[in-house]
């Protein structure tokens, strides 16, 4: 499983709508509306970098209201939970 | 359950050590070493803001090697998973 | 009581109008027009994070003229005044 | 009454100590440790700009651990509360 | 006398026009077109913070062409000149 | 008369001392300690660019505590006051 | 052979299209869609600075959807591969 | 002779056109299209600050396509060449 | 093959030494010293994200003189060359 | 002839010394101490990119007091002067 953390800046009044569209995308496991400099944080858990590439280009970018994204690849996950099992894909 | 997402900048050679110390803290459910502008991203899942306040001041800040943190409160979580159940605290 | 401090950048000529709309929102206890990099600072005192989430999404974001916001959760309040009593909600 | 809002960046492990020193200063009515880009936010309520100038130069600047401050003068306060009465100085 | 120094960014071709409008405002004693990151610097010398608040909201903000302002309150003035006398208001 | 406006960032506890040293320099007509992103603003009124170059290199730069300066040349001054006469050099 | 590395910010939904147009330009040897602050990174391998100047002005700049570019000249290449031979131009 | 160095950001497709218009302006001795964060760098060599002020306001600012400028006054020139003679104005 | 592009800021006088150390690391195919905001750009071509994670933590981070890195994952490569064959790993 | 424009930030009290060392370097034709965000601007006129690479690595980087540099390659020079002849190298 490959995990990506994506930081979003969103047109103010579309934050809710965009969050709901994001979480419907296969591969996006959680979306949070957050305080601070960013508006949304999404966690994508996919099988490969390619799968994320398609997810980003085909499904994520066309969503209306996204003004800026910063995608971070998780090199390594540290957790007391068995994340692979919990988010089995 | 209150979720916080914390972005870290870490002294280069302590990234691994800091990640392992963070994930030992009660309340920190996942830590990822990441590509891009930040070095680590941690997800804290706690019962209340106060619990996070203590976690940050008592346990997180004393960790050697953390140069900058940006703590984001998750107002709302969107997920197909029952996160509360999965990360029951 | 949970306290949030929100920094605003506002379209220049709507600073007054936006300040008056903000202070009418249940949960916003004070709004200041300020010098420096930001235009307005609001202090929200609410019962829970959820209450702020609704306040932000339902009431604050739709206000015309807000170009950027930075919401900061107050982990801990230090004061010689009994703020809870003074701003009893 | 003249209100100032001061944003602080603090050396990580001195956040608590600095907050407690700040709130002891005559004229500082509230101090909050906060999430996001800043570490502390203080609200000063004084009689005049000069009083704040002295507060800043004589009492605030000598405090160990403050790395950066941004002082904002409140031009105008909007509130359902009678702040002058509540914070009578 | 309360002194404010205001840094402006202006729509390129309106720099001259805006400078002439600013200097007509009661309370603005000098305006300079400048090299570097900003376009204009104005020095306001007024009787009180409130007077500046009105000056900013009523007269300054409506001026066409101002894209960004940064208002700085002068806590203390140091000069070999008797500025109060020179700019008696 | 050539006017320069210089923005300073100063080591916190030396703001006062540096202001007093600056205002003693021939050619510096006013120095203000200010709120916001900068700590001091100085206005230099000299006969020529060269005079400022010497002032900066010989007298200003050696002052202890200056961390950053931004010098802005005033192309044109707009004022109801006869600044040349007032600050005759 | 002169190598340039160009960082691109692209209008979100045109990332793919722009990448395909870039790689058709004589002199552009590779284009990558990337995570992080930038959207595309292109590597140009040309015979001279002039050739790149034409490539940039004539072919690259007219491409729809490029919002920002940062061109970096490679002073020196270090590699175990014989890049000149591999990318013989 | 007073020398100014002006850094320009230009609308992508107008870089060439703007460069050619700039170099036609009396007082602008060289214009370079450049790699990196800026698009053009111009060197103006004039008799006085006023001459540059007019050059900037009357001739430079009206040019279509200039999005941002940063004008730097050269306090002192160091060269093995006799620049005054070479660029005699 | 997974490609990463890494932007480096390096202590000035160690640029050459760091470049030579980087290119000795298995997986780093090219390193360029560059003009502009960054000092070095490296292209890593590895079999998996994990392999890069080890490369970064075990070999890259311990190198003396690296002050800042920005690692970008290449989602997709566009090229007229058969990069996989050329850089067969 | 290849022209490079290099922007420098310098330790305050070494501006003069560094300028004099820079202008002694073969290939550096002019150095200016400047107002604004940078401290020095140098113009290098050399025969090839390689010559600049050596100039930067061998002669420029070892100079004490340089804190940051931004090197810009001039793609194209526009001038009424015959710069090649004037700065014949």
C72 to chain A: which residues are within 8 Å by CB?
35-36
Q: Does domain I2-75 have CATH number 3.30.70.920?
A: yes
Who among I61, I66, I73 is closest to B35 (CB)?
I73
Q: How far is E70 from chain C (nearest CA, A)?
A: 5
Q: What is the CA radius of gyration of chain H?
A: 13
B4 vs chain C: nearest CA distance in angstroms? 11
What is the tens place of the pLDDT at every residue in D35-89? 999 999 999 999 999 999 899 988 998 999 999 999 999 999 999 888 888 887 6
B2-86: CATH number: 3.30.70.920
pLDDT of residue G86: 85
Contact yes or no for E70 and C15 at CB 8 A: no
ipTM score? 0.89
The predicted structure's pLDDT at residue H89: 65
| Mean confidence (pLDDT) of chain E | 93
- Do D12 and B73 make contact, defined as CB atoms within 8 angstroms? no
* Nearest-CB residue to E72 (from C13, C33, C35): C35
Interchain CB contact of A36 with D (< 8 Å): yes
Tokens of residue I2, six digits: 């997974």
Averaged pLDDT of chain F = 93
Determine whether the interchain pair J37/E35 forms a contact, defined as Cβ–Cβ distance below 8 Å. no
Kindly give the confidence (pLDDT) of every residue in chain A, 89 residues in length, as a single tens digit, with 9 standing for 90 and above.
Answer: 899 999 999 998 899 999 999 999 999 999 999 999 999 999 999 999 999 989 998 899 899 999 999 999 999 999 988 888 888 76
Distance CA E75, CA F10 (A): 15
Contact I73 B37 (CB under 8 A): no
Q: Judge whether residue F3 has pLDDT over 80.
A: yes
Q: What CA–CA distance (Å, rounded) separates I76 from I73?
A: 9
Average pLDDT, integer, range F1-11? 94
Q: Is the pLDDT of residue I51 over 70?
A: yes
Give E50-83 pLDDT, tens digit per residue: 999 899 988 998 999 999 999 999 999 999 888 8
Max mean pLDDT among D13-17, G54-58, I3-7, J52-56 falls in I3-7
Record: contact B36-A70, CB cut-off 8 A: yes
- Dump pLDDT digits (tens) for B31-63: 999 999 999 999 999 999 999 989 998 899 899
CA dihedral I2, A61, G24, G58 (to 10 degrees): -130
CATH number, domain J2-77, options 3.40.50.920, 3.30.70.920, 3.30.70.3270, 2.130.10.10: 3.30.70.920
From the list C61, C62, C71, which residue is nearest A35 (CB)? Answer: C71
Mutate to test the interface with D, among F19, F35, F38, F39 (most CBs of D within 10 A): F35
- Taking contacts as CB-CB distances below 8 angstroms, the residues of chain A near B80 are 23, 29
- pLDDT, residue C38, reads 95
Measured between CA atoms, the residue of chain C closest to residue A38 is C70
H15 vs G contacts (CB less than 8 Å): 57, 61
pLDDT in tens, I3-49: 999 999 999 889 999 999 999 999 999 999 999 999 999 999 999 99
B11 Cβ contact list (under 8 Å, min separation 6): B65, B67
Which residues of chain J fall short of a pLDDT of 50? none
The H-assigned helical ranges of chain J are: 15-23, 49-54, 83-86
> In terms of pLDDT, which residue wins out, A22 or E13?
A22
Q: Give the span between the Cα atoms of J24 and J27, in whole angstroms.
A: 9
Q: Alpha-carbon distance E4 to E55, whole Å?
A: 11
- Helical ranges in chain H per DSSP H: 15-23, 49-54, 83-86
What pLDDT is stored for residue E1 in this prediction? 87
- Residue E35: closest C-alpha in chain J: J36
Please check whether residue C67 touches E, CB under 8 A: no
Mean pLDDT value of segment H17-36: 96
Q: Domain-by-domain residue ranges, chain F? A: 2-75
Q: Tell me whether J33 touches chain F (CB under 8 Å).
A: yes
> Between residues 45 and 64 of chain F, which touch chain H (CB distance below 8 Å)?
49-50, 52-53, 56-57
Inter-chain residue contact D36 with B4, CB threshold 8 Å: no
């Amino acid at each position: 499983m490959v995990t990506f953390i994506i930081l979003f800046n969103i047109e103010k009044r579309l934050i809710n709508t965009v969050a709901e569209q994001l979480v419907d995308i296969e591969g996006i496991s959680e979306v949070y509306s957050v305080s601070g400099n960013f508006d949304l944080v999404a966690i994508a858990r996919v099988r490969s970098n390619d799968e994320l590439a398609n997810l980003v280009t085909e499904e994520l970018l066309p969503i209306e209201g996204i003004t800026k994204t910063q995608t971070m690849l998780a090199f390594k996950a540290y957790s007391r939970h068995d994340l692979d099992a919990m988010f089995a894909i």
